[in-house]
Amino acid sequence: MTYTSLDVEKIRKEFPVFSRELPDGRPLVYLDSGNSSQKPNQVIDTMRDHLALHYSNVGRAMHVLGAESTEAYEGARDKIAAFIGASSRDEVIFTKNASEALNLVAYAFGNPSNTDPRFTLGPGDEIVISEMEHHSNIVPWQLLVQRTGATLKWFGVTDDGRLDYSPDVITERTKIVSIAHQSNVLGTVNPVAEVARRAHEVGALIMLDASQSVPHHPVNVAELGADFVAFTGHKMVGPSGIGVLWGRAELLDAMPPFLGGGEMIEAVWMDHSTYAPIPHKFEAGTPPIVEAIGLGAAVDYLTGIGMEAIEAHERTLTAYALDALREVPTLRLIGPETLEQRGGTVSFTLEGIHPHDVGQILDDQFGVAVRVGHHCARPLHLRFGIPATTRASFYLYNTTGEIDALVRGLHHVQKVFA
Which sequence positions are flagged as catalytic? 376
Computed from CA positions of residues 110, 80, 99, 338, in that sequence, does the dihedral angle turn out positive or negative?
A: positive
* CB 390 within 8 Å of CB 349: yes
Distance CA 355, CA 317 (A): 22
Q: How many residues belong to the chain? A: 418
Dihedral sign for Cα 342, 346, 347, 352, please. Answer: positive
